[in-house]
Chains A and B, each alone.
Chain A
């Protein structure tokens, strides 16, 4: 295995959707064994970045290396091999709705291994215990709250003992208690299992408490990176706006529109 310090290396990445550029020459290194947060205003392509790292989509140009392998050139078999070493937590959990909690967590084991039932049960129970939901094994996904669903999905993501764990907006729509639980799990799993965690989020305060390193994306590029403390005092307008949650600044409050009074008076309209 490649043991260099960066588990993900992105170089000069360009990617556009429908002619609209999402990334302009984005470059970043994600260090091994740490919790790295990727932050940025909505619509900056944070989730897209995760999809590029896992090759769910392909870049227009540039390269993405994961653990030394150029994901662009991997064959399907090698890509699936790489993905087995990754776990991903989707925004809404993405549990399989026709399986109960136990079967959802057991799903990767059943698909990829020939383990005896007893061992599968032990593994699943261990992982569910780690996220505090061992008691919920018989529930169906529809019976779970948002926070519980995400914890089950987290148990499923770690059941194959991945080296990289990717979280896509893990706090969206969660109450403060569930949020706190997920935050603690991110840190605890990272340290206990020796993982590398990549967390995409725009919850500045929350993620700052667990992240070792933060990348701030805007306009298709990394505008700042450093520890959460460094970013709090970063000498840049956009970083200040984002970290402070200010309504207006380099990221304008208003979506581009024609001149206000003119439009109100119907000068450009067809009245």
Chain B
């Protein structure tokens, strides 16, 4: 009986928190047009969330692409179809690994930075001070950071996929001697706009989800060192699980 009661109350709790996040998203959406008018603030956050994540995204993209090149080559060689390596890696990167791995890396690099920054601003009364200066902290602090994340994510995913394909080419064509002509031409022939759209839709939705989780956790962090730490951890865990869950949903939708 107690177990079912606990289960029930934790179910209710998680529903309530989903409701809280949805309400928060609504507030951010309402604030978006005004924030876009002051684009300088958003641009600064695109730099923080996007440009500062470039190195980690590019390095990871290169290695993931190289692994795909190796594994793909081994597998395709068994069927004598190594020429399809370009297609296989491009589809894999553009539709799946690009958006998903970028989102996971984003959660770890930019998401944690957002959550801890906003959490610390709360803990050090900076948000209250803004409130007292008649400045809405959601509008001034949270919305630009949220938009910065949303705009950065598809760009980062595109860069990740691009570098990934370059990495696969490096292994496949340069080292394993797959024919360069067939590598590129097969890729161009079989990767369609629909595949690219799927990648863009995914990274946009992951961008909204990961940025929302990060700013929500930061804004609602308990104003103590421990609370900010917990918010940061929760940001990574929740973002990762949400990304993978949404990935499944969107993939199923695009089938």
On A, residues with C-beta under 8 Å from B are 54, 56, 80-81, 83-84, 86-88, 90-92, 94-97, 107-108, 111-112, 153, 156, 160
Contact = CB atoms under 8 A, between A and B. Distances in A.
A56 B132 contact: yes
Interface in B82-109: none
Contacts of B136: 80
The prevalent SS among residues of A at the interface is: mixed
Interface in B111-154: 120-121, 124-126, 128-136, 140
B132 A96 contact: no
A88 B129 contact: yes
A91 B132 CA distance: 14
Q: How large is the interface on B (under 10, 10 to 19, 20 to 34, 35 or more residues)?
A: 10 to 19
Contact of B124 (A88, A97, A107, A160): A97
A108 B128 contact: no
A90 B133 contact: no
B128 A94 contact: yes
A54 B126 CA distance: 16
A80 B130 CA distance: 11
A88 B134 CA distance: 11
A155 B167 CA distance: 55
B134 A90 contact: no
A80 B134 contact: yes
Contacts of A96: 121, 126, 129-130
5 contacts: A56-B128, A84-B134, A87-B132, A92-B125, A160-B133
Nearest to B129: A94
A96 B132 CA distance: 13
A56 B121 CA distance: 16
